[in-house]
Structure 1
């Protein structure tokens, strides 16, 4: 039996490498495919994309050859929103849908962001970014690192802050699994449950103690649950 492909989309400012340390802990029948966004990692030489729907089109074009055979998505924060919109694109193009979709650290599409920060000056913007956690402290003190990092994360925040959700709350014929941190100030423990409005299938929820980057704080538990979810999918094949 073929492996299940796990296509992983990172958070704002992140690259595909944030998932690389999952590889040794995922079960042998799971093929990890970290998806790189333009302007970072192995795509560093490419132009950043600050329009959300153009970004989705870019990711769709880059992953459409990976979706033969059984596959699942995992996205964290901005990655969850990208996954959702890529699924809408797959549905519109009558492409094979994933066996499941794991959405992590993000309110559902119709819940507006409380603050828009992408247009702040560098100092204010960095201060807000550090409020999310997950960003190395040396960014504050290393001008060279900041000069690389700031345009990437500012572009990502512009994309998600100007994102317009679908008016019809289009539903996917795909099981959803939703991860969230109980101390995440950017995700509502009540509103996150409304991801269930976007699927005609099941929608399961798993809470982790931790903030916005609970996938780092509770890495072992998160990867263990990903294994469990995909084991359940394999049992249905």
Structure 2
């Protein structure tokens, strides 16, 4: 653990008034502001997001790099916010965090009403994938350009990249340190999987591998675009989130 302050959640300066809470977890290199424009736009649900040290509004603080430590902070900080029905959303690394937060909450008697995993392979696939911690700066910039996460003009700004790359590397270390627990029970809640049609060639395999760790019903939806369709098809994703919550929450 670093000496940075304990993780907190933000409600984007909005009071918690709705019967449901949608906790949104960002992808690697992202912060809570990825979901600021969702606040107030999900009917019946308050939008809440974690404020990670080293990311977003806490950019200048040391970033945690261990998955287990990040998960522990997420679960501890969420405890005071569990007095409403809970839904979880995460994209890419955020999807993995959302799943493990959901499993930890279920073990504590707070079963989520819904888990939405976006742009994220199943835990076993991530856990066994080759690790990318040794990417050179040139290779890392090339990957960012390929995924379209950062505009090319930003990639060519050395001063800006000196600030952004350490944050991204910290998040890659978080993902690389993840190990799925094969003995943990499946998460018993509905799962909605979102994926980019340009990235996933076998949606049936995506469903099958996630079914190894989730025992509830699984719904699969595709969106135009590659890995970061959550940005390029943003309004479609938000509309799907609203529909997913309206159809699933409240069901026990």
> Common fold, TM-score beyond 0.5?
yes
Match of 2:137 among 117, 122, 138: 122
Of the three residues 194, 203, 210, the one matched with 1:195 is 210
Q: Cα offset for 1:205?
A: 0.8
Aligned partners of 1:118 and 1:125 also within 8 Å: no
Q: 1:2 Cα shift?
A: 4.0
Between the two proteins, the alignment pairs up a number of residues equal to 234
**Corresponding position of 1:145:** 160
Are the equivalent residues in 1 in contact too, given 2:88–2:102 (CA < 8 A)?
no
- Deviation readout 1:185-206 (Å, 9 max, x if unpaired): 6x85343112122222211111
Cα distance, 1:64 vs. partner?
2.1
Q: Which residue of 1 aligns with 2:122?
A: 108
2:219 corresponds to which of 187, 204, 226: 204
- C-alpha distance in 1 between matches for 2:105 and 2:136: 37
Equivalent residue number for residue 147 of structure 2? 132
Q: Does the Cα contact within 8 Å between 2:195 and 2:221 map onto a contact in 1?
A: yes
Q: In the TM superposition, what whole-angstrom CA distance separates every residue of 1:37-88 from its partner, at most 9, and x where no partner exists?
A: 2211232243211111111112222222222211200000000111112123
Runs of 4+ that moved beyond 6 A: none
Aligned to 2:190: 175
- Identify the residue that residue 43 of structure 1 maps to in structure 2: 58
CA distance in 2, matches of 1:23, 1:137: 29
The answer to whether the Cα contact below 8 Å between 2:113 and 2:251 also exists between their aligned partners in 1 is no
Aligned to 2:21: 5
Equivalence for 2:10: none
> Aligned equivalents of 1:188 and 1:168: distance in 2?
27
Aligned to 2:38: 22
Q: Is the 8 A contact 1:182 1:211 kept in 2?
A: yes
State the TM-score, normalizing by the size of structure 2. 0.84
CA contact (8 A) 2:30 2:56 kept: no
Counterpart of 2:112 (choices 67, 80, 98) is 98
Shift of 1:20: 1.3
State how far apart, in whole Å, the 2-side matches of 1:63 and 1:46 are: 21
> In 1, distance between residues paired with 2:86 and 2:113?
6
CA contact (8 A) 2:38 2:238 kept: yes
Deviation at 1:129, TM superposition (A): 2.6
- State the TM-score, normalized to the length of structure 1: 0.89
Q: Return the alpha-carbon distance in structure 1 between the equivalents of residues 189 and 81 of structure 2.
A: 18
Q: 1:197 aligns to what SS in structure 2?
A: coil
